[in-house]
Chain A
Amino acid sequence: MRLLEYQAKSLFSDYGIKIPKGLTSTNIEKGRKDAKTLGFPFVIKAQMPVGGRGKAGAIQKCHNADEFELKYAEIMQKVVKGEKTRAILLEKMADYKKELYLSLFLNRGKRCYTLIASSEGGVEIESVKNQVIREVGLGNVPKSTSEEVAKAIGLKDNSIQEFADLVQKLSKLTIEKEAELTEINPVAVLADGTLLALDGKVIIDDNAMFRHEELKKFQEVSELEEKAEKSGFSLVELDGNIAVVGNGAGLVMSSLDMLSDHGGKPACFLDVGGGATTETVYEALTLISKMKKVKGILVNLYGGIVKTTTVATAFIRAYENKIIDVPVFARLSGAESDKSKQMLSGSKTRLFDTVEEAINAAVIGVNKNG
């Protein structure tokens, strides 16, 4: 789960990391009140889970009420890399003399957390120069390492202790909240040498959420994605018109790739989980029926142990209950496939021996009708 900037900053604040004064709103009425409380000038920042907001004009300075009316409305409508503005953060500007970079992230290849710091923050991590990198096990950064890193990025005087403290606080947050990534970019160095977190990015391990009731309020899932999660499915909504369903994340991704290679446009990625039963497939079809854009369904199930007739029963029930009326193109691997074909003859579900054949038929079928 990726937190929005203001959510990340509220966690920072809980851990004693200094942040600029700011207020968050989701409509202009509340925004106007916030503006009054803060006083001009300030920065208007779109809250959305992507980088590159500045370049896209989703973060802008604001000096007076007229400007506020225009810019608030404009930024509320922004879409950056497919992500809409969720809320707006108004934040006081700080006077600072330098921008640093600091993050702790899970290095999957090395299987440990990695601390990255740099004297040149404010740009995306790929372009951050002079990176100082330290491996820190499960995320617990020793105090001595924090100070050593502060010196390594060229800090002087009280900024060394300030930075070491900041690292300690971020490390504590990372461990206690089970974050895969915590990033402060930039860290502002103020005139008096103290530090301020100007931006914040935090990604929490979804699988650890059962231990973090306190973070549930930050969870944002689409209605359909939430329903899918309750059924134990994984659903990712996409822009096309052919729903892709299968069992196992790898298999569904593979089907998505092949469909795209054949010129098809996936409407969603839906993994019903390792096993497949009449109930799970029926539920998957029910979920898909709620997506208006779907003109056809591609099903790729590798059963092995599962009997295909078990799955075929779900299709028949879905048509009978008028859950779906779009054609289904299915490849079901498993026992009793001849019997399944017989069961489905005359229905809008067509069975194929290979996924390639099912995809070809789906692309042709949907384009013809679409």
Chain B
Amino acid sequence: MVDLFDILIGKEGEKGYKKKSVIVQGITGKFGSFHTQQMIAYGTNIVAGVTPGKGGQKFDGVPIYNTAKEAVDASGAKISVVFVPAKFFLDAATEAIEAGIKLLIAIPEHVPIRDAMTILDLTKKKDAIMIGPNTPGIIIPGIIKIGIMPASPFNVGNIAVLSRSGTLMYEVSHNLSAAGFGQSISLGIGGDPINGTTVIEAFDMIRNRTNIDGVVVVGEIGGDSEELLAQHIIDTKFEKPVVAYVAGRAAPKEKRMGHAGAIIYGNYGSAESKVSMYAKANVPVAKRPAEVPMLLAGKLGRKKS
């Protein structure tokens, strides 16, 4: 199993420590180019870009290659962030994983389920990780930002934020930062029905880190990842404080609420089902984003005393 922090930060004394190389697939597109600049400004080490047909050119000093293989061969990068349109995601992601990418951050929205599942199969065979699709990305405040999130909501600290929604990840992190709770990592799971890395997998990747005092899980209606996580917390006797938020209590059934994954069928995916499972796991659920830091303070305070 690949260690997420190892890929993102590395080990002290090792080459590239806190300066891990990242390539951008779709670097010359509207979003790709804008966010490449934003990532570089944050300090992320963007070493190469991929745009078929533009090999040999440069974008803001970053060399562009025609294929992911050339970009990986030239840079040795193990991380790729993908900005290509959903229709081209399958090809771009396949190329990246085949070229040796170990962490694929899949930004595009509207990727077909079958394509996401195909890439998921491939990552398993190649011992790689996919985050997303339809994710804002990952940020380790102060060290690395890979994705489309603004930098301002995030502060250095010891809380891990896992979120199924992009803007809610910013909103909740912003509220946490304002209350003095910085983040050791904020990770977007993605809003699609099939996640390359599930909430539970992400949870297990971070649970034993010593720089994490508590976990905030931002969820929404649809699927059963909150229910499964709650059961997982019970089964594995996780003892650090966990606080949750679930969006979509007021959403009607059988209507897709923006995210492909945010849909309730019967009771499957309903907010009530999630909240009641969290209660069993002793995880308080905030009624609104601003309540998250209050609940977390309560949990942390109680634990200290």
**Do A108 and B258 touch (CB < 8 A)?**
no
Q: Which of B46-54, B71-79, B203-211, B216-224 contacts A (4 or more CB under 8 A)?
A: B216-224
Given A180-B113, A208-B113, do A234 and B258 touch, yes or no (CB 8 Å)? yes
**Do B113 and A109 touch (CB < 8 A)?**
no
Measured CA separation A109–B227 after assembly (Å): 10
Q: Which of B111, B118, B220 contacts A207 (CB 8 A)?
A: B111
**Do A356 and B288 touch (CB < 8 A)?**
yes
The digit string for B250-277, where 1 denotes a CB below 8 A from any CB of A, is: 1110111111111000110000000000
The residues of A that contact B225 with a CB separation of less than 8 Å are: 108-109
The closest CB in chain A to the CB of B248 belongs to A253
The residues of A that contact B38 with a CB separation of less than 8 Å are: 305
The closest CB in chain B to the CB of A261 belongs to B287
**Do A260 and B249 touch (CB < 8 A)?**
yes
**Do A108 and B112 touch (CB < 8 A)?**
no
**B100 CB-CB contact with A under 8 Å:** no
Q: Which of B136, B171, B250, B255 contacts A266 (CB 8 A)?
A: B250
The closest CB in chain A to the CB of B199 belongs to A109
Measured CA separation A59–B170 after assembly (Å): 48
**B21 CB-CB contact with A under 8 Å:** no
The residues of A that contact B250 with a CB separation of less than 8 Å are: 253, 256-257, 259-261, 266
The residues of A that contact B167 with a CB separation of less than 8 Å are: 246-248, 250-251, 274, 302
**B20 CB-CB contact with A under 8 Å:** no
A13 to chain B, nearest CB (A): 23
Interface size on A, residues (CB 8 A): 52
The closest CB in chain A to the CB of B133 belongs to A207
**Do B113 and A248 touch (CB < 8 A)?**
no
Given A211-B112, A269-B258, do A254 and B150 touch, yes or no (CB 8 Å)? no
The residues of A that contact B228 with a CB separation of less than 8 Å are: 109
**Do B258 and A111 touch (CB < 8 A)?**
no
Measured CA separation A2–B259 after assembly (Å): 16
The closest CB in chain B to the CB of A181 belongs to B265
A86 to chain B, nearest CB (A): 15
Measured CA separation A236–B255 after assembly (Å): 7
A337 to chain B, nearest CB (A): 13
**A50 CB-CB contact with B under 8 Å:** yes
**A69 CB-CB contact with B under 8 Å:** no
Measured CA separation A180–B167 after assembly (Å): 27
B141 to chain A, nearest CB (A): 14
**B159 CB-CB contact with A under 8 Å:** no
The digit string for B122-147, where 1 denotes a CB below 8 A from any CB of A, is: 00000000000000100000000000
Interface of A is mostly: mixed
Interface centre among A50, A206, A207, A266 (most CB of B within 10 A): A207
The residues of B that contact A274 with a CB separation of less than 8 Å are: 109, 136, 148, 166-167
The closest CB in chain A to the CB of B167 belongs to A248
**A258 CB-CB contact with B under 8 Å:** yes
Given A254-B247, A258-B288, do A234 and B257 touch, yes or no (CB 8 Å)? yes
**A252 CB-CB contact with B under 8 Å:** yes
Tell me the chain B residues, 135-192 only, with Cβ under 8 Å from chain A. Answer: 136, 148-153, 163-171, 174, 191
Q: Which of B87, B152, B194, B223 contacts A304 (CB 8 A)?
A: B152
The residues of A that contact B121 with a CB separation of less than 8 Å are: 138
Given A238-B252, A269-B257, A302-B171, do A111 and B191 touch, yes or no (CB 8 Å)? no
**Do B150 and A304 touch (CB < 8 A)?**
yes
A125 to chain B, nearest CB (A): 8
Given A108-B261, A274-B166, do A206 and B247 touch, yes or no (CB 8 Å)? no
**Do A126 and B266 touch (CB < 8 A)?**
yes
Measured CA separation A333–B167 after assembly (Å): 11
**A106 CB-CB contact with B under 8 Å:** yes
**Do A248 and B168 touch (CB < 8 A)?**
yes
**Do B118 and A138 touch (CB < 8 A)?**
yes
**Do B252 and A236 touch (CB < 8 A)?**
yes
Q: Which of B171, B198, B221, B287 contacts A111 (CB 8 A)?
A: B198
The residues of A that contact B198 with a CB separation of less than 8 Å are: 109, 111
Measured CA separation A256–B171 after assembly (Å): 15
Interface centre among B111, B113, B221 (most CB of A within 10 A): B113
The residues of B that contact A305 with a CB separation of less than 8 Å are: 38, 150
**A123 CB-CB contact with B under 8 Å:** no
Q: Which of A2, A207, A234 contacts B86 (CB 8 A)?
A: A207
Given A138-B114, A207-B112, A234-B257, do A250 and B288 touch, yes or no (CB 8 Å)? no
The residues of B that contact A252 with a CB separation of less than 8 Å are: 257-258
The digit string for B11-41, where 1 denotes a CB below 8 A from any CB of A, is: 0000000000000000000000000001000
**A205 CB-CB contact with B under 8 Å:** yes
**B68 CB-CB contact with A under 8 Å:** no
The residues of B that contact A49 with a CB separation of less than 8 Å are: 254
**Do B247 and A257 touch (CB < 8 A)?**
yes
Rank and list the top 7 A-B pairs by shortest CB-CB distance, nearest first.
A250-B165, A304-B150, A249-B258, A248-B167, A250-B168, A208-B112, A260-B250
Q: A138-B118, A274-B148, A304-B153 provided; 7 other pairs, C-beta below 8 A?
A: A108-B225, A249-B257, A250-B163, A250-B164, A257-B248, A260-B249, A269-B251
Task: Identify 21 residue pairs between A and B in the complex whose beta-carbon atoms are under 8 Å apart, listed by A's number.
Answer: A175-B114, A178-B112, A206-B256, A207-B86, A207-B110, A210-B87, A234-B256, A248-B167, A249-B259, A250-B163, A250-B167, A250-B168, A251-B165, A251-B168, A252-B257, A253-B257, A254-B168, A260-B250, A274-B167, A303-B150, A356-B290
